[in-house]
Amino acid sequence: MNKKIKTKSLNTFIQILIFILFIIIIFIIINYYLISILNIKSNLDNNPKKIKKSIEIIISRYKEDLKWTTIEPFNKYKYIVYNKGDDDDYIKSNVKISYNLKNQGKCDHTYLYHLYHNYNNLSDIVVFLPGCLDIYFKYSKAKLLLNCIEKYNEAFFIIDYKSTTSIFHDFFYYQMEEYKSITKTNEVEDGNLKIKKSNIRPFGNWYKKYFDFDIQNITLFGILSFNKKDIYNHEKIYYYNHMKNLEGYINSEVEHYYEKVWEALIFPLNNTLTLNYSNTISNIVIYYLVKYSKYYKNDVGLIYWNAIYFINKYTYYNI
């Protein structure tokens, strides 16, 4: 009897100990991120505002209604819309000017097209947004970006994944075998198109062809901003050449390579501030989502990114 009592007491003690250790680990993690975020915010708050910088916001649209442009904070701005395809049925109350483009290369082609054709008359801060901001995490990221720009009068590069080594190392073997858009307006067309494989594979070999330096940061979902001084790190023809790489296909593997290298495209970001929105959990998850790419853009990825942006929005990053 005493032996059973002792065993039961020992099991209870072990369970209590495990629970206490779990609480301590959670506390350490939360404390670490709180300190990190407080340091980021402190650095931003200590950055004095200068003369109000001019802002231009470019939207890459394909069949979306753009209702989000009428909601705060988006309704404070006027937009340049690149309309990809024949559909012209969208809300234009906050549209400054629109252009029609052939539907190719996803939003990355649109952004490079704008940089090339407007190279000599860019605003101080250039913001790029996809038309599909009705998805929660994209909406939250775009709202965070505009709030940061408005509050600190600076362009921001929001980091969704931060490598401890390099993107080249982490995603060297990444390939996109198939792709289905998470946006309903694109889903039918993309779903009927077989993905065009890159002539240079995998991602690491493609990266080596175009960049001879390492980057550590990935920003996702086509939600970007840059200080024009950083854009001028490269000549106009540079953006033209990259733009041409994305032409000819609606659904190509190269689009998914370009999504990961916007830091490299504009590198170095000497005048654009970085905001690290990633954390250990998100870095681990995205690494394996990308490694096993069939999970990258489907419901698993959708649920994951919705959760990450919901958690961060209501904890540290409500700037």
For the chain, what is the domain count? 2
Q: What is the mean pLDDT of residues 125-152?
A: 95
The answer to whether residues 72 and 162 belong to one domain is yes
Residue percentage of the chain with pLDDT more than 70: 76
Least trusted range by pLDDT, from 7-11, 32-36, 154-158, 180-184: 32-36
The answer to whether residues 11 and 79 belong to one domain is no
Q: What is the mean pLDDT of residues 23-36?
A: 58
Residue 69: is its pLDDT beyond 90?
A: yes
Inside any domain, residue 119:
yes
* pLDDT score for 188: 47
Q: Which domain holds residue 10?
A: 1-36
pLDDT band at 24 (very low <50, low <70, confident <90, very high): low
Q: Name the more confident of 8 and 16.
A: 16
The answer to whether residues 65 and 7 belong to one domain is no
The string of pLDDT tens digits covering residues 143-178 is 999 999 999 999 999 999 999 999 999 999 999 887
pLDDT band at 306 (very low <50, low <70, confident <90, very high): confident
Inside any domain, residue 146:
yes
Instruction: Report CA-CA distances (Å) from 228 to 6, 42, 267, 294, 297.
Output: 71, 25, 12, 36, 31
The answer to whether residues 13 and 110 belong to one domain is no
Inside any domain, residue 319:
no
